[in-house]
Amino acid sequence: DAGVIQSPRHEVTEMGQEVTLRCKPISGHDYLFWYRQTMMRGLELLIYFNNNVPIDDSGMPEDRFSAKMPNASFSTLKIQPSEPRDSAVYFCASSLQGKGAAFFGQGTRLTVV
């Protein structure tokens, strides 16, 4: 298996622009997580899905953030409009049945200038 695949690996955008981050989970996994990593706040859970249904989005910082999972093999995290404080590394992870380990993608490093 190729593991969790995220794209793009790097994204540089101007403040106010829309940014879309993409994730392909490991085939057969039924949980998908979006995390954000910053030096100041460490790893923060933004939102997670079970069987494509959003379960908890309380970690999404503002209405500017939204996430979708239209099918079992694809998820997006969108920021509109983006702001410099959104600059971080965004990770997608997936797991099987919620009790096992979560496996992480390589992350997307977002820089908003």
Partner 1 sequence: AQSVAQPEDQVNVAEGNPLTVKCTYSVSGNPYLFWYVQYPNRGLQFLLKYITGDNLVKGSYGFEAEFNKSQTSFHLKKPSALVSDSALYFCAVREGSTPLVFGKGTRLSVIA
**Distances from the Cα of 62 to the Cαs of 44, 65, 73, 95, 111, in angstroms?**
14, 6, 26, 26, 18
- Smallest distance, partner 1 to C-beta of residue 11, A: 14
Residue from 21, 24, 86, 91 touching partner 1 (CB under 8 A): that is: 91
Residue from 2, 42, 53, 71 touching partner 1 (CB under 8 A): that is: 42
Residue from 77, 102, 110, 112 touching partner 1 (CB under 8 A): that is: 102
What are the residues facing 90 on neighbouring strands? Answer: 36, 108
Residue 43 CA to residue 86 CA, distance in Å, equals 14
Residue from 12, 15, 43, 113 touching partner 1 (CB under 8 A): that is: 43
According to the binding rule CB under 8 A, does residue 56 interact with partner 1?
A: yes
Q: Residue 85: phi, psi to the nearest 5?
A: -70, -5
* Tokens (6 digits) for 48: 């997670």
- Smallest distance, partner 1 to C-beta of residue 71, A: 21
Which residue number, 57 or 81, has a Cβ lying nearer to partner 1?
A: 57
